[in-house]
Amino acid sequence: MTYLCWPWSTAQEETYARYQVLNKPENCCGLKESEVLSLLSDIGAGIQYLHENKIIHRDLKPENIVLQEIGGKLVHKIIDLGYAKDLDQGSLCTSFVGTLQYLAPELFESKPYTVTVDYWSFGTVIFECTCGFRPFLHHMQPVQWTSKVKNKGPKDIMAVEDMNGEVRFSTHLPYPNNVSRPLLEPVESLLQMLLLWDAATRGGGLDPDTNKPSCYTALQNILNMKVIHVLDMTSAQLHSLILGAEESLHSLQLRLETYTQTHISPLSQELLLETGISLDPRRPPAHCLPEGLRGWDSSIVFLFDKSLTKYSGPLTARTLPDSVNFIVRETKTQLPLSALRKVWGEAVSYICGLKEDYIRLYQGQRAAMLSLLRYNTTLTRYKNLLFSQSQQLRAKLAFFKTSIQHDLEQYTKQRLVGVSSEKMLKTWQENEEKADGFTKVADVGYLDEDIVALHSEIVELQRSPFARKQGDVMEQLEEKAIELFKQLKAKCKSPDPPHGYSDSSDMVKMILQTVQNQDRVLKDLYTHLSTILVCKRRIVDFFPKLERAVENIKTAEAAVMQMQLKRQKEFWYLLKIACSQNNSPSQSLVQQHTDSETVHQLLDENQRFLSQLTTLLQEATQEMEPSVMDQDWSWTRYGAVIAQPQKL
């Protein structure tokens, strides 16, 4: 394991400090959740490593936490160990020179201290990175706020001064922040351990199971949490739920049914990753999430209602902070620049949040489009399978019909003098009619027309300008709001501010324009999303037609093969009979008897014809000259003719 403690000299040129990130206007209300989780993991491991090696850092602050890219991932590292002190076992330290804003209370009183001073500093850094400001009266110097905060309750993690100058404590993180609901309470509990005023109990004491401070156990529990962030596209509402390690998808869907505004049933739920891939129902959802620490800003699952093709809303709007709501209602009210700075910071955070809300919904629209393209790919595969099987069926039908037509022609030629079977003839004729019927099954051209129309519609959806991100105007408004905030900060830092008070008309103008622009782009987004969902519904409804066509072709193909097999069996059966008849003795006797009868019939016919011929000759003789009578006519006598076969 690489621990995150580096000397500044080795990292200065290739890294930047966390305070530089915190000072960005868009982070004035805290870092994104994924960044907070990364900070907890990296800095927690670094502090634990130092303490296990008996080293107190004593000067932990955002300026001494740097970010360095390693393997494409930003890693936090603790630097500047100039004030770090070796701690012998059981020893206490009494000398310190360090940064006052993040010091533990006991250091101001020059009391002995232990490793728990780093817990206080760590808790202060966590709070500031989460909310954008330090937890206890951040506008005051430490000498001032310690006297007011020392009587705080053991679970108080924040102190602010109201308009009347009265200090108010809280056990909860303030809004706005970017921590999701499941993480809020665990992070607050961790901060309650780290920000205890009593140094002896700070850190929560030893955990009996691990024999380490309880704050490390609480920290590890936070990092081990599996949280799924589901954006309901029907309402634009984000749901964050803790997942069991082996919790099934159906269990998650049942919980989502109770969370969603319209109570979408599990059968109607479609859960898509950003890539357009549906969550696998065979695997626990926790196994489908990306590896590593992911907040709702970097890992979202999109929920669609399959029973609808148009989401009519209403869409859940981002909550407007109370202070921002005040300046929107009281635009012309003059406020001190110091108070206005915090309010405008929250206003900038709100404007940035509106843009990010749109981007997430756009990602949901894109996930729907990618899902549609996956369905289109499946449709193309079905089409190719269908037309391949259609061609195979056509080829087999052509062969079968050609064969049976030849059989029928040959049968007709030989039926009078050869083998005949009316039953076989009828079967062949019926099979020929069936083959003609199967030709219609092989004709799937009508489906191809519908598929081409769907493909064309998908291409148009991809070419639509609404298929691309439309947040340019919102980005411009965000930049203008940030510039206004920077100008206000510059005024506040001026030793002689030109005006001690100012109204919020310019910032409110940015807020209203951003809200109006978001309404417009979301209307276009949901119109385009509805078109995507309609096209997807048509493809889903088209699949059963393709499946039926494929099944019909398979059935027809099997029937053709069965008919062909039956024909072949019939031929072999006839051949078997013919062969057995040629080899039978009784058949030879029958054949000899038939030949004898045929000979006698021929002799009788010859005798009749000869008798008729003799009569004709006698009549002709009477008319001929006497010289004719001198010729030899003995061959005409019946006795001579009849005697010849008798000798045979």
Domains for the chain: give ranges and CATH numbers. 8-224 (1.10.510.10), 227-316 (3.10.20.90), 328-415+422-580 (1.20.1270.250)
- pLDDT for the residue 642: 42
User: Which of the two residues, 633 and 153, has the higher pLDDT score?
Assistant: 153
- pLDDT for the residue 69: 85
- pLDDT for the residue 83: 59
Contact 242, 182 (CB under 8 A): yes
Please name the residues in contact with 66: beta carbons below 8 A apart, sequence gap of 6 or more. 6, 8, 11, 15, 16, 17, 18, 76, 77, 79
- Range with the poorest average pLDDT among 101-105, 175-179, 356-360: 101-105
- pLDDT for the residue 369: 96
- pLDDT for the residue 7: 45
- In 260-373 the beta strands, taken as DSSP E runs, fall at 269-272, 301-305, 335-336
Stated pTM of the model: 0.80
Contact 364, 302 (CB under 8 A): yes
Residue closest to 549 by CA, chosen among 386, 380, 384: 386
Whether the predicted pLDDT of 272 surpasses 90 = yes
Average pLDDT over residues 219-224: 94
Contact 74, 33 (CB under 8 A): no
Residue closest to 4 by CA, chosen among 54, 58, 66: 66
- Range with the poorest average pLDDT among 86-100, 138-152, 379-393, 536-550: 86-100
Condensed to tens digits (0 to 9), the pLDDT of residues 449-469 reads: 889 999 999 999 999 888 888
- pLDDT for the residue 631: 53
- pLDDT for the residue 608: 63
Condensed to tens digits (0 to 9), the pLDDT of residues 472-522 reads: 899 999 999 999 999 988 887 776 655 578 888 999 999 999 999 999 999
% of the chain residues with pLDDT over 70: 81
Confidence of residue 217 (pLDDT cuts 50, 70, 90): very high
Residue closest to 535 by CA, chosen among 608, 451, 601: 451
- pLDDT for the residue 1: 37
User: Which of the two residues, 370 and 69, has the higher pLDDT score?
Assistant: 370
Confidence of residue 153 (pLDDT cuts 50, 70, 90): very high
Both tokens assigned to 96: 């310190």
Task: Find residue 158's DSSP bridge partners.
Answer: 170
- pLDDT for the residue 90: 43
336 phi/psi in degrees, rounded to 5: -60, 145
Average pLDDT over residues 238-256: 92
Contact 521, 470 (CB under 8 A): yes
CA angle 606, 612, 613 (to 5 degrees): 85
Confidence of residue 186 (pLDDT cuts 50, 70, 90): very high
Highest-confidence range of 253-262, 290-299, 636-645, by mean pLDDT?
253-262
Average pLDDT of the chain?
A: 82
- Range with the poorest average pLDDT among 105-109, 145-149, 422-426: 422-426
| Rounded (10°) angle between helices 337-414 and 322-329 | 100
- pLDDT for the residue 164: 75
- pLDDT for the residue 168: 92
- pLDDT for the residue 12: 44
- pLDDT for the residue 260: 84
Distance CA 457, CA 545 (A): 19
- pLDDT for the residue 611: 66
Contact 33, 178 (CB under 8 A): yes
- pLDDT for the residue 593: 47
Both tokens assigned to 92: 């206490």
Average pLDDT over residues 31-35: 93
- pLDDT for the residue 214: 94
Residue closest to 277 by CA, chosen among 377, 395, 203: 377
Annotated catalytic residues are 59
In terms of Cβ atoms closer than 10 Å to its own Cβ (0-12, 13-18, 19+), residue 69 is exposed
Confidence of residue 89 (pLDDT cuts 50, 70, 90): very low
Average pLDDT over residues 179-190: 95
- pLDDT for the residue 20: 76
